[in-house]
Structure 1
């Protein structure tokens, strides 16, 4: 980080105030933590402030965990490879899916299978839970009726099209191969070795202490929590709760070989497919940004009603940034501000 810490603190504080940010900003590199600060309330009704140890929902930020899980199973020589076909892996019925869909395509959002939340057809994630009450969505299989009998969107491998259902299916594959619930697998084989001691898949109706409630701000100035707006328990496509420090540990553990071999990590961090933006690519469970043919940023993000999340690793400076929030916006503005100074 080129800036002196004092200057950085001032610039961040100004932006936090400008956007009314609620959450945590955590920045570190190989010398240690450069900046960590907490803002806003984890519970507005009781005016309980966020702290740097508050747990936040990170929505799709946890697709990274699912991708790591699949890579671990491939590496261990389990019954799957990246070229394995979905039609040979699960016993569930997908009558209209193309039989050529592979694990690699599911990981890279290029499978063409239908999504349960299609942003082209549905603007509001909350609409999903009108006919399918969110309090029933506790297991991965609970999501299957939302997409398993729908038509394919395109030919497998044809293009990138962001897909939540693909990661639900990957989670089911992990469950089938390991014979343990997906969330148990992640907590045992990813959180534990990464020493993410404060993180987990918690139910909305039994959140532990120091966990931020997600807030949806309305245009008239009122607000509500996201308690009835997201699935009651997270799974393979999103919904875990982490502290900012724990997510930084995840990056460190991934890069230091605690979770995958270097060879497998290289596969995961390969820009397999170009997304809908010129310089953006997707690997396994993470996005990548290129500049002059070099990858300058590996990152993940998450959005849910009452949740927004951004985290990145910048290889040139070995900097890790983690910004969870219990509001629907904020992390990316702060991340771009930091990027200008890294």
Structure 2
């Protein structure tokens, strides 16, 4: 790829923050930026390359939303279906009025197993419930199933991982498939995302980046004891930067959902931030400028993971920034937007 001043600006930011990860920017089929930097494995000094897989944490909630929308298209449920009508699992303190729409838009009011409004360290969750036991959605239920509602249904936006755990269980119940199997067959394969999957940390495939956390003394440790051993409906898939670009392309060309259902997914349902003109659709953040949508984007953060990716409808541009550090993706992502 020919170097230009815009590439140089991104590389400068990457060097300034010691970025570790992959950067990809495309418009239609034109490659505008592609950079790799850092180590996929620090112990063995294995360098990151263009096809390295990265964990993307909550960046994959949009896959869960697409899966639900596919089931709605098939007539297996509706967005107004009530949670007790779909799942044969008791939630004794939950409001029976909770719908699929509420879960998708983080407005269900249910308690979260990791409440970002009051908790800071994700790794603290696994002191009493070891992360190596967390291999499917049902494993998370004891963390919130019997808790009382945090707020009234539909009261306000409250980012909620537990809601997406429940959506994953809905996908399993209606499809008769494991959640990861359903997404692989009906989203990844249809979008040409051949390198992506929900891999277990104790059985990672080749060319997969380990996540790294910086210790107080400046050294690094992997995140294998800080996140669930296997991702699911609320986060934790692994993708390559090119596969994520393929996902956006497949979504926007109606290869995953019909045009009408794609618009349902991408509708700005609820305002999320008083400081920004930012909304939430189904599994996707949506930025507006006036009456126009300027950006659809997803992001994810875990210990040892930072990820940002966006589709800009006015230009058709797609950006993907994957990192195997807890921070860094946002700085590079913003520099891409600046130029």
TM-score, normalised with respect to structure 1: 0.97
> What is the CA–CA distance in structure 1 between the aligned matches of 2:3 and 2:219, rounded to whole Å?
36
> What is the CA–CA distance in structure 1 between the aligned matches of 2:69 and 2:4, rounded to whole Å?
41
Q: Report the 3-state secondary structure (helix = DSSP H, G, I; strand = E; otherwise coil) of the residue aligned with 1:264.
A: helix
- Tell me by how many angstroms 1:218 deviates: 1.9
Task: Tell me the equivalent position of 1:99.
Answer: 96
1:186 aligned to which of 183, 196, 209: 183
Q: Report the 3-state secondary structure (helix = DSSP H, G, I; strand = E; otherwise coil) of the residue aligned with 2:190.
A: coil
- The answer (yes or no) to whether the contact 2:116–2:159 under 8 Å persists in 1 is no
1:199 aligned to which of 196, 208, 211: 196
Task: Tell me the equivalent position of 2:141.
Answer: 144
Deviations 1:6-47 (A, max 9, x none): 111110111001111000000000242211111100001111
Task: Tell me the equivalent position of 2:224.
Answer: 227
Pairs within 5 Å for 1:1-342 = 6-78=4-76, 80-277=77-274, 278-341=276-339
Q: Bigger CA drift: 305-314 or 327-336?
A: 327-336
Q: Report the 3-state secondary structure (helix = DSSP H, G, I; strand = E; otherwise coil) of the residue aligned with 2:4.
A: helix
Q: Report the 3-state secondary structure (helix = DSSP H, G, I; strand = E; otherwise coil) of the residue aligned with 2:159.
A: coil
> What is the CA–CA distance in structure 1 between the aligned matches of 2:255 and 2:116, rounded to whole Å?
36
> What is the CA–CA distance in structure 1 between the aligned matches of 2:167 and 2:194, rounded to whole Å?
25
> What is the CA–CA distance in structure 2 between the aligned matches of 1:88 and 1:96, rounded to whole Å?
16
- Tell me by how many angstroms 1:276 deviates: 2.4
> What is the CA–CA distance in structure 2 between the aligned matches of 1:228 and 1:165, rounded to whole Å?
21
Q: Report the 3-state secondary structure (helix = DSSP H, G, I; strand = E; otherwise coil) of the residue aligned with 2:273.
A: coil
> What is the CA–CA distance in structure 1 between the aligned matches of 2:116 and 2:261, rounded to whole Å?
32
Root mean square deviation, CA, Å: 1.0
Structure 1 runs (4+) deviating above 6 angstroms are none
- The answer (yes or no) to whether the contact 1:5–1:34 under 8 Å persists in 2 is no
Deviations 1:30-79 (A, max 9, x none): 2422111111000011111101100000000110100000000000111x
TM-score, normalised with respect to structure 2: 0.98
